[in-house]
Structure 1
Amino acid sequence: MAEQLSFDLPRRTARAREDFFVSPANALAVALIDDWRNWPGGKLALSGPAGSGKTHLTHVWAAHTGARIVPAGDLTEDAVPDLAQGPVAVEDVPEIAADPRAQAALFHLHNLVLAQGHRLLMTGRDAPRHWGLTLPDLQSRVEGAQNATLDEPDDALLAAVLAKLFADRQITPRPDVIPFLLLRVERSFAAAAAVVDHLDRGALKEGKPLTRQLAARLLADFRSHGDGSGD
């Protein structure tokens, strides 16, 4: 049997609503995103570990509301009046904990967006009380937002995450690969992403389709080299 050709294809991350798998680990957060018209105070903080779907859900929300998405680190006060003309999603807010200018811009954006009756979504890995913002008025405002939390995956969600990570890399593993991995991969999004990356690179290097046998060998290599599952 001829071996499957392997190409280093670009990743195409799927971020449509139908690509987001709902399980008990994220159902409440999804419900709150869907209920955006009723957010208390017009704002929501979305938190969860790396790879848990914060960016995916942010894009889903933006597609429904017409919101603009901006990384917190890119915020400037000059951009605030224009951004505040509609709903806004600000990603990775904790990353500006050491940036007074970006914090001041977010503070003014927060106030102006809500004053004009629009919605504000903010994201970070931890709960807002741990975002460590040094502008007290801003920290108090983010802590005042309802918090939607994405938890580490259960089995159903982990299987869906693995399938999506493979699909984003345009890989079609054999049907028994994901059930095999479910019994052996740490229950975290970061671990799933690290394992899929290792399997992708290994299969590409060997020019072989991703079978259970190849996955087992590559996974053993992954563990023996102490590859971590950090962010």
Structure 2
Amino acid sequence: MTGSQLPLDLRAASDQRLDAFHDAPAVVAAVQAAARGERPDWLYLQGPAGAGKTHLLLAACADAAHTGRRALYLPLPAMAGQLAGALAGQESAALACLDGLEAVAGRREDEEALFHFHNRLRAAGGIALYAARSAPAALGLGLPDLATRLGQCTRLPLALLDEAGRRAVLRARAARRGLELDEAALDYLLRRVDRDLASLTALLDRLDRASLAAQRRLTIPFLREQLRGG
């Protein structure tokens, strides 16, 4: 089987591509090489919420699928308590991206399921990309062998974007939609809405539809109307 497998009908959005990830070029290069099977390293993305871990995992799946490799994305918070069933038979994936490791920490059955999957995937020649907010030793895992396995992965730290980085990402994502955001409009948005990239991207999608329907540019009066209405 080729292509990607994204449970719960989750699909990579147009912005969730490796070439759309702002900053951290060394991390992007490592993730892309893993997605394409060009390096054997298993990777562990570590950073706070909003640092782009999910973006990179979904982008890796899309990149792997583009080259005909089977990729699996699993959001572990959604699988907590049932991880053994979700991972059954999935070791045939060329790339397995497991997001939110902290969700299974302290759940003995889930930890054991992940440990055995890790071993099966490695034996089958696949590559895993893990993502978590904390280092393996700080996750609070009850299974020492699992913490050891995760600690053997190459760790890639991620940090939150600063103000300039958020502005650059928002501007680039607006341009990809054919939207013009001048500095005044950017200032207006960043002062009045949630500043994490997921929220900002969702807002851009809504503004894109509204702008197209109204045939209006993203001026401050138009943004004010949309934010009041939303």
Q: In structure 2, what is the Cα distance between the partners aligned to 1:194 and 1:22?
A: 16
Once residues 181 and 22 of structure 1 are traced to their aligned partners in structure 2, the CA distance between those partners, rounded to angstroms, is 22
Mapping of 1:48-67 within 5 angstroms? 48-62=47-61, 63-64=63-64, 65-67=69-71
Is residue 38 from structure 1 mapped to residue 39 from structure 2 by the alignment? yes
Q: TM-score, length-normalised on structure 2? A: 0.66
Between the aligned partners of 1:98 and 1:56, the Cα distance in structure 2 is 26
Identity of aligned residues (%): 26
**One-letter amino acid of the structure 2 residue matched with residue 48 of structure 1:** G
**How many angstroms apart in 2 are the aligned matches of 1:197 and 1:21?**
16
* Residues 174 and 181 in structure 2, CA contact (< 8 A), matched pair in contact too: no
The residue aligned with 2:17 is 16
Q: Find the residue that maps to 1:84 and give its secondary structure.
A: helix
CA-to-aligned-CA distance 1:93-143 (integer Å, 9 cap, x gap):
111113221111100011110111110111112333322222111112112
Query: Is structure 2 residue 134 aligned with structure 1 residue 130?
Result: no
Contact 1:198 1:218 in 2 (8 A): no
Question: Where does structure 2 lack aligned partners over 5 or more consecutive residues?
Answer: 1-11
Is this contact kept in 2: 1:96–1:102, CA < 8 A? yes
Aligned to 1:27: 25
Q: Structure 2 CA distance, aligned partners of 1:121 and 1:53?
A: 14
Q: Determine whether 1:70 maps to 2:78.
A: no
1:84 touches 1:109 (CA, 8 Å); kept in 2?
yes
Q: Any conservation in 2 of the 1:28–1:148 contact (CA below 8 Å)?
A: no
Q: Is residue 85 from structure 1 mapped to residue 87 from structure 2 by the alignment? A: no
Q: In 1, Cα distance between the equivalents of 2:159 and 2:83? A: 32
C-alpha separation in 2, matches of 1:108 and 1:197: 37
Gaps of 5+ in 1: 1-11, 222-231
Residue 196 of structure 1 deviates from its aligned partner by: 7.6
Aligned-residue CA RMSD (Å): 3.8
Q: Does the 8 Å CA contact 1:165/1:193 hold for their aligned counterparts?
A: no
| Pair 198,118 (structure 1): closer, same or farther in 2 beyond 3 Å | closer
